[in-house]
Amino acid sequence: MTATALTLVHDKVTQGLRIALAGNPNCGKSSLFNALTGAHQHVANYPGVTVEEKRGRTKLDGLNAEITDLPGTYSLSSFSPEERVAEAELATHPDVVVVVADSTQLKRNLVLLVQVLQAGANPVLCLNMADEAAAAGQRLDVAKMEALLGFPVVETVGHRGEGVSALKAAILKAAKQPLIKHRLVLGVEFERALTVIARELPTEEDARAHEWVALKLLVGDPTHTARIATRKGGQGVIATALAERARLETLSGLEIAVYTAERCFGFVDGLLREVSLHPARANARELTDKIDAVIVHPLLGVPIFAAAMYLTFWLTFSVGEYPMGWIETAVAALGSWVTSLWQAGSESPLRSLLVDGIIAGVGGVLVFLPNILLLFFGLAFMEDTGYMARAAFITDRVMHRFGLHGKSFIPMLTGFGCSIPGIMATRTLENERDRLTTMLVLPLMSCGARLPIWMLLVPAFFPAPWRAPAMFGIYALGIGLAMLLALVVRRTVLRGAEAPFVMELPPYRLPTLKAVVRKMTERSWLYLKKAGTVILGISILMWVLTAYPKPESFKVDRDIAAGTLTVSDDTTLTNLRAAEALEQSFAGRVGKTLEPVFAPLGFDWKIVTAMIGAFAAKEVFVAQMGIVYAMGNVEEAGADDLRQTLTRHYSPWVGLSMMVFLLIGTPCMATFAVTRRESGSNKWALLQFFGLTTLAYLLALVVYQLGSLLSA
């Protein structure tokens, strides 16, 4: 070890090494990241984008190291947020950049290595999936590869953790002896162009990134060009880059992007020819082909897909019911336990906050955890086996009609169960615009929590023969509007050139249980942690809204005292008091204040108040209606009374208008919180909330007004 290397190591002992993992999607990067960092991980979103930011810690021979898992990208072309994030991370010059490559797809995978080198990184090449490559008969001269490239090259089997210690050693070695100058050979003319441009770059530009910026200017990257243009002397270098581009294009007869790609692939080709000891057999992927012949068969494909979906949802919602019941019981038990800490009949606000606010609110969200875990288990399994891409292949034709993506299908289907896992499942969509569009319209899928509402309202307002069609109609309306809205969103707020669909269909792989469970818990934990904090806040707010201000005295009591009212039993009295309390509360007052606004929809203050409650969770609407009509907390048994009351009080048109409004408007607070988290900004959550509510208002208005006209 040289003296400088020693000082470097000394510095890094105190500061820690910064390591980044780069690689194509599906190269096994997450598996390696997990193998390297173990449980020490932190997952978040990059600010303002839907891209996931994963960091973890590990020790390398006693040295602290922070590992960043860059988003999987095919290149650093900066056309997608993932690529921009990866590029930005590389621009911070991590001490070592591990380029993970799928050994069975080296040609394409190594093109990313070329770009990472151009970006001035100090790399280690990790040839992952070495087991598959070996099984296919491919053999590489790794030592020669290392000699040719001038930096460490290791073979690994990511999901089994094989070669990880060698990888760690290689990372350390690279950190101690950083690569000074890469040995890419991309052709005299190409290199000369880069040198000529780099020479003219403004002096304040990061010296290590000169070649990279030169390359970006050469290919006319808008971000870099705009940035350089504002610098002193920037115009000059941009003109030079233009001239060089023209020169290379005339010389090669190829457009610059094609020429650049050709140079990179050429280098990789040459390298692979040098180091290949034995090529992979031509029929190495037969098994995948055989499976695909069935899975995406023109006739069998759709039934198989339907069966897979059915299985997933059965797992999620049927099997999930049991633990859901347990959680409900546990939450209820916790509630009564906390209640028992106070004297019976105590009106302690703290008790009410704890029981009715926090435990009820957070419990209501916690209840979905089993669903979420199971669903994410199913999704992670489909993703890791490679089926997800096939499912997208099958559904894309329909989804694309509406400006969505094949991969939007599963999240939207999930939305029928619950919007929250649906929104979280949009993570499988790589493209930001596709992902946001799916997220925004997803609450229109009538979720499980809305089912109790339909169960209450449909029999109340529809004669028996019309009930089934009404149910069907409400679901169909949701789907239809979601599709329509997706189209609208794509033409307005998320307008822009369509992102390429071009999707790789990875070979089928048997995922390890560990990997699937890990993915599942990771996402579920995110749901609990981030959504949880917001939901806790909103729960408390909702509690305050419905519980305060408390009436000084109850009119019921005064009426009884005055003898104008007789109440037969205690329950009725409690119910009447609860109804009054709600009427007096902020929610009730807001409901009354908003009554004129909602009158054109046929709603009175009672409905509006109940709808405010529905923001906490959709099914709360039923309970709140029960309370305003002094029927207590409506459970299944009491529903019939409430139904009759509703039939008496409202016309069917009000009923329909209510259903339309509840289907479309005011996504619940958990949806709001998760959309905010997953989209990385308040903007989209607010847009979703107000957009859908406005639409709901307008449609309910049309329904009620038309209905009133017809029946008049």
Partner 1 sequence: MITAASSLVPANISSSLEDYLETIYLLVQQQGFARVKEIAHAREVKAASVSVALRRLAELDLVRYERREYIALTEQGEEAARKVLTRHRLLTRFFEEVLQMPADAASNQACAMEHSLTDEAMDRFVRFFEYLGSCPTVIESFRRCPLSLAPDKAAARKDSNCATCRAHSKVETMSLADLRPGQHGVVEHINAKGALRQRLLDMGMLPQTPIELERAGLGGDPLWIRCQGARLALRRAEASSIAIRQLP
Ligand X SMILES: Nc1nc2c(ncn2[C@@H]2O[C@H](COP(=O)(O)OP(=O)(O)O)[C@@H](O)[C@H]2O)c(=O)[nH]1
> Binding residues for ligand X, per CB under 6 A?
23, 25-31, 72, 128-129, 131-132, 157-159, 384, 509, 511-512, 515
Residues forming contacts to partner 1 in the complex (CB under 8 A) are 74-75, 77, 79-80, 104-105, 107-108, 111, 247, 250-254, 257-258, 261-262, 265, 288, 292, 296, 298, 301-302, 389, 392-394, 396-397, 400, 406, 497, 499-505
Least separation, in Å, of the C-beta of 307 and partner 1? 16
Q: Where are the beta strands (DSSP E) in 61-175?
A: 63-69, 96-102, 123-128, 139-140, 153-155
- What is the smallest separation between the CB atom of 376 and partner 1, expressed in angstroms? 24
- In terms of phi and psi (left: phi > 0; alpha: psi -120 to 50; beta: otherwise), the region of 168 is alpha
252 binds, among partner 1, ligand X, none (CB under 5 to 8 A by kind): partner 1
96, β-bridge pairs? 19
Closest CB 393 distance from ligand X, rounded Å: 18
Instruction: Indicate the pairing of strand 153-155 with strand 139-140.
Output: unpaired
List the single partner that 503 binds among ligand X, partner 1, none, CB under 5 to 8 Å by kind: partner 1
Closest distance of CB 383 from ligand X, Å: 7
Amino acid at 640: D
Which does residue 499 touch among ligand X, partner 1, none (CB within 5 to 8 A, set by kind)? partner 1
Q: How far is the CB of 46 from ligand X (least distance, A)?
A: 17
60, 136 Cβ separation under 8 angstroms? no
Phi, psi of 72 (to 5 degrees): -65, 125
Question: Is the Cβ of residue 275 or residue 659 nearer to partner 1 in the bound state?
Answer: 275
Taking a C-beta distance cutoff of 8 angstroms, is the pair 26, 158 a contact?
A: no
Cβ(703)–Cβ(657) below 8 Å: yes
Least Å from the CB of residue 157 to ligand X: 4
C-alpha–C-alpha distance, residues 435 and 279, integer Å: 39
| Residue 594 partner contact from ligand X, partner 1, none using kind-dependent CB cut-offs of 5 to 8 Å | none
* CA nearest to 443, candidates 611, 654, 693: 693
Contact criterion met (CB below 8 Å) for 257 and 115: no
Taking the least distance from each CB to ligand X, the nearer of 509 and 589 is 509
CA distances (Å), origin 631, targets 357, 519, 576, 628, 637:
21, 45, 8, 8, 11
Minimum CB distance to partner 1 smaller for 265 or for 475 = 265
Residue 500 interaction partner, one of partner 1, ligand X, none, beta carbon < 5-8 Å per kind = partner 1
- Between residues 82 and 583, which has the closer beta carbon with respect to partner 1? 82
Which of 302, 476 has the CB closer to partner 1?
A: 302
Residue 400 interacts with which of ligand X, partner 1, none, CB < 5 to 8 Å by class: partner 1
Closest to 31 (Cα-Cα) out of 518, 504, 427: 518
Nearer to partner 1, 62 or 298 (CB): 298
Residue type, 662: L
**Beta carbon of residue 220, minimum distance to partner 1 (angstroms, whole number):** 11
Q: How far is the CB of 192 from ligand X (least distance, A)?
A: 36
Cβ nearer to ligand X, comparing 70 with 660:
70
Instruction: Say if residues 57 and 67 touch (Cβ distance below 8 Å).
Output: yes
Name the binder of 509 from partner 1, ligand X, none, CB < 5-8 A by kind: ligand X
Nearer to ligand X, 27 or 547 (CB): 27
What is the DSSP-derived secondary structure letter of residue 541? H
Within 13 Å, how many C-alpha atoms sit on residue 203's CB side? 0
CB of 97 to ligand X, least distance (A): 15
Q: In sequence order, what are the beta bridge partners of 42? A: 55
Q: Shortest CA distance to 106 belongs to which of 34, 215, 23, 190?
A: 23
- Closest to 139 (Cα-Cα) out of 15, 280, 16, 234: 280
Which of 29/427 has CB closer to ligand X?
29
- CB-nearer residue toward ligand X: 356 or 522: 522
What is the full DSSP assignment across 422-448?
HHHHGGG--SHHHHHHHHHHGGGS--G
CA-wise closest residue to 579 among 539, 599, 609? 609
- What is the number of alpha carbons within 13 Å of residue 71 lying toward its C-beta? 28
For ligand X, the closer CB: 157 or 485: 157
Taking the complex as a whole, the smallest distance from the CB of residue 58 to ligand X amounts, in Å, to: 17
State the binding partner of 72 from partner 1, ligand X, none, CB within 5 to 8 A by kind: ligand X
Q: Could you tell which of ligand X, partner 1, none binds residue 502, using a CB distance below 5 to 8 A set by kind?
A: partner 1
* Least separation in angstroms between CB 497 and partner 1: 6
Closest CA to 531 of 421, 627, 454: 421
- Binding site partner of 247, from partner 1, ligand X, none, Cβ cut-off 5-8 A by kind: partner 1
Q: Which does 437 bind (CB under 5 to 8 A by kind): partner 1, ligand X, none?
A: none
